[in-house]
Each structure stands twice: as structure tokens, then as C-alpha cells.
């Protein structure tokens, strides 16, 4: 409905003002100088929306960005169910294979009903080297699972949560199996380490600017204790050779440089970083004894080498190999003294 108001202002001999209201399709105002002005007002019914409002609605697109591991971070899931089902099948097969191996190697001892271990009794064994291992395993499996989910088309955020849950459940399976072994039991300390590893993965992915330059790594060489049979029980696999393990936290300074610095920074120096490591000795014969060794050395972030840029598959492979700390100049500190050399 169109409403038009016409106001005519007139002044009579007594200077009184009369207001005349006319409703018409056009209105005129007569001013004191007799200049007419014409205008028209339209009231739009609330039920009708201007067409321009429709054009202003945001258009959402499934934006992607490439990651250093060869996968793409998607805002929304666009699942390739063939990829996803095949990868889940591979993970299930790998889990069955690993569990079967564990049954043959470790779970041959006497069993018992479900039971837990005393926290401090368990925590003080092996100078916590087994706990560092659980942290590393949980972080690694969470990270690998997240990559698989992203490759299958799951959104970036969902891939992180699903990856962390997969890694955590993978490690929980080991704890539950241990709970039925008379010699061991469910380890609350292992559960804490597992949770910390998966949690750090989540924090890192959602705070990549702050934590993306930090990378947990692992190195191993056959220890003298294993070579000389100085373990109270002969290790059945390298993951039982705690004296041969070293766990690292590496930091890549280039990740934290301002963009203005990165432009002038030599590209060949970008992969170089700092590595801080820990290992233990004399824990083979008596697991509650021994001492720790600490390391400071150089590190190479293989993902920053400018030779994998064109291949998503190579980026993925390199991101997995990057969990190994390469032999580099290192200083070792312990109660037995200081040593310098190339260390793996």
C-alpha cells in the first residue's frame, strides 16, 4: 500500500498555521516563497525483502591449504569413501598384525585377572624411558592417523580429533592387554604418557604458529647392555632395549622467524635446528637404578629441504622419516662426564 502525505502550509492574516492533509499519488509542499516541491514516500511490506539482500549472502567454498606432510587441510569434509575404507582396512590389519606379534613375544607369561600397578613403583622404573616411549608412540600414531584421515577427505579439524582418538585407543589396547599379565598390570603412568602424547598432537595442530616448530623425535642404536647380555631379561625386540633409546625434542628456529627475516635468511639454513635429548644407562640389570644422560645437538628438519616440493607422496614419506633424529654433532652430559661427537 502506498501512503502519500501532502502538507500545505499557509499563513493567514492572524499568523495562524493550518495543516491540510491530502492523500494522493503525489504530494506538493507550498512554501512561503510559493516554490512547490514534489516528493513520494514508499512503505515496503515487511514480508517482502529487497533482492539485494539475497546477493549479499556469503557463499561458502571448501577452501584447502597444502600442508608440509603432503595432505590438504580442508574446511569441510569431502570424504572419498573408497580411500577411507581402504585406509581403515589397512589400520585394522596393521593392528591385528602388531597385536599377534605382541602375543607371541610378550604375552607368553602367566596371566591373571585384570589388575593395576602401583603408580610410583611403575613410574620409577627404567628412569622413565618407557614413559618417554609411550608419549612418542601416542604422538606418532595420532599424527599418522590424522594424515590418513585428511588424505581420505575428512576436514582438517575433524582429522585432528579422529587422529588423536585413534592414537590414544591404539595405545590403550596395549594397557588393557598388560592388565591381564601377572608380571605387569594396567599402568596408570603409561596412560598418562599416552594421553600427553595425543594431547600434544592436538595442541600443536590447533596452535601451529606457536608449536609447529617443535618436533618429538627418536633414535636408537643397539646398546652395550644388550650386546653384553646385561639385562635382567634378554630383550626380545629393540623396543625393550631401553638403554639404546634416545628421545628428543627438536626446535626449528626458522619456523618462528618473522616473514621479513625469512626473505633474507639463506634457504639452506632453514632446515637446521636444535635438538634436546634424554637417554638412560645401567637400567638393564636393575630397572629402578641407573642414571640419565642428556644431549644437546643439531637437528635437520627434513620437511624443509627444498627437494620434495612437487610430490605429495614424497612429502608424506619425508614427514614420517622426520621422526628419526639423524646423526648430527652432539654434546652428551651425565654423571659420568661430558662427551662430544656424532650421535644417533
- If one counts every other C-beta atom within 10 angstroms of the C-beta of residue 96, the result is 10
* Residue 9 banded pLDDT, cuts 50, 70, 90: very low
Average pLDDT, the chain: 84
pLDDT at 343 over 80: yes
pLDDT at 61 over 80: no
Query: Using an 8 Å Cβ cutoff, are 162 and 338 in contact?
Result: no
* Residue 240 banded pLDDT, cuts 50, 70, 90: confident
> How far apart are alpha carbons 56 and 69 in whole angstroms?
37
pLDDT score for 143: 98
pLDDT score for 308: 76
Angle at Cα 97 formed by Cα 91 and Cα 99, nearest 5°?
A: 100
pLDDT at 29 over 80: no
pLDDT at 48 over 50: no
Instruction: Cell 617443535: give the residue.
Output: 214
Q: Compare 184 and 3 and report the one with higher pLDDT.
A: 184
pLDDT at 2 over 50: no
pLDDT score for 62: 59
> How far apart are alpha carbons 273 and 285 in whole angstroms?
36
pLDDT score for 239: 84
Query: Using an 8 Å Cβ cutoff, are 341 and 327 in contact?
Result: no
- Own/partner contacts of 93-99, CB < 8 Å, gap of 24 or more, are 95/170, 95/173, 99/173, 99/177
Q: Compare 64 and 244 and report the one with higher pLDDT.
A: 244
pLDDT at 49 over 50: no
* Residue 104 banded pLDDT, cuts 50, 70, 90: confident
- The whole-model pTM stands at 0.80
User: What distances in angstroms separate CA 343 from CA 61, 164, 257, one per listed residue?
Assistant: 49, 31, 28
Q: What is the mean pLDDT of residues 175-187?
A: 93
pLDDT at 237 over 70: yes
pLDDT score for 63: 66
* Residue 326 banded pLDDT, cuts 50, 70, 90: very high
- Taking only the tens place, the pLDDT of each residue in 187-232 is 999 999 999 999 999 999 999 999 999 999 999 999 999 998 888 8
> How far apart are alpha carbons 143 and 197 in whole angstroms?
10
List the strands of the sheet with 27-30, edge to edge: 17-22, 6-11, 27-30, 36-39
**Burial class of residue 8 (count of CB atoms within 10 Å of its CB; 0-12, 13-18, 19+):** middle
pLDDT score for 39: 39
Amino acid at each position: 500500500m502506498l501512503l502519500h502525505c501532502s502538507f500545505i502550509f499557509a499563513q493567514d492574516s492572524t499568523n495562524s498555521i493550518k495543516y491540510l492533509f491530502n492523500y494522493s499519488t503525489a504530494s506538493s509542499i507550498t512554501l512561503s516563497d510559493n516554490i512547490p516541491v514534489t516528493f513520494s514516500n514508499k512503505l515496503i511490506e515487511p514480508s517482502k525483502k529487497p533482492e539485494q539482500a539475497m546477493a549479499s549472502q556469503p557463499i561458502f567454498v571448501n577452501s584447502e591449504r597444502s600442508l608440509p606432510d603432503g595432505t590438504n587441510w580442508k574446511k569441510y569434509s569431502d570424504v572419498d569413501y573408497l580411500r577411507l575404507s581402504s585406509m581403515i582396512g589397512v589400520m585394522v590389519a596393521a593392528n591385528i598384525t602388531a597385536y599377534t606379534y605382541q602375543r607371541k613375544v610378550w604375552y607368553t607369561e602367566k596371566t591373571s585377572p585384570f589388575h593395576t600397578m602401583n603408580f610410583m613403583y611403575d613410574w620409577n622404573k627404567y628412569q622413565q624411558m618407557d614413559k618417554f616411549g609411550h608419549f612418542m608412540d601416542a604422538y606418532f600414531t595420532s599424527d599418522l592417523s590424522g594424515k590418513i584421515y585428511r588424505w581420505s577427505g575428512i576436514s582438517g579439524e575433524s582429522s585432528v580429533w579422529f587422529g588423536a582418538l585413534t592414537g590414544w585407543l591404539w595405545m590403550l589396547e596395549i594397557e588393557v592387554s598388560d592388565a591381564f599379565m601377572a608380571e605387569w598390570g594396567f599402568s596408570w603412568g603409561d596412560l598418562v604418557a599416552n594421553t600427553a602424547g595425543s594431547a600434544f598432537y592436538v595442541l600443536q595442530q590447533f596452535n601451529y604458529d606457536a608449536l609447529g616448530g617443535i618436533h618429538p623425535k627418536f633414535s636408537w642404536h643397539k646398546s652395550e647392555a644388550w650386546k653384553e647380555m646385561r639385562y635382567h631379561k634378554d630383550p626380545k625386540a629393540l623396543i625393550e632395549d631401553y638403554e639404546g633409546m634416545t628421545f628428543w625434542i627438536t626446535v626449528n628456529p626458522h619456523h618462528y622467524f618473522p616473514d621479513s627475516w625469512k626473505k633474507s635468511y639463506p634457504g639452506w639454513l632453514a632446515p637446521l635446528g636444535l635438538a634436546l635429548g634424554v637417554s638412560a644407562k645401567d637400567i638393564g640389570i636393575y630397572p629402578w637404578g641407573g642414571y640419565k644422560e642428556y644431549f644437546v645437538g643439531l637437528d635437520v628438519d627434513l620437511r624443509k629441504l627444498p627437494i620434495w616440493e612437487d610430490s605429495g607422496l614424497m612429502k608424506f614419506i619425508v614427514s614420517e622419516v622426520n621422526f628419526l633424529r639423524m646423526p648430527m654433532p652432539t654434546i652428551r652430559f651425565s654423571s659420568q662426564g661430558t662427551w662430544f661427537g656424532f650421535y644417533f
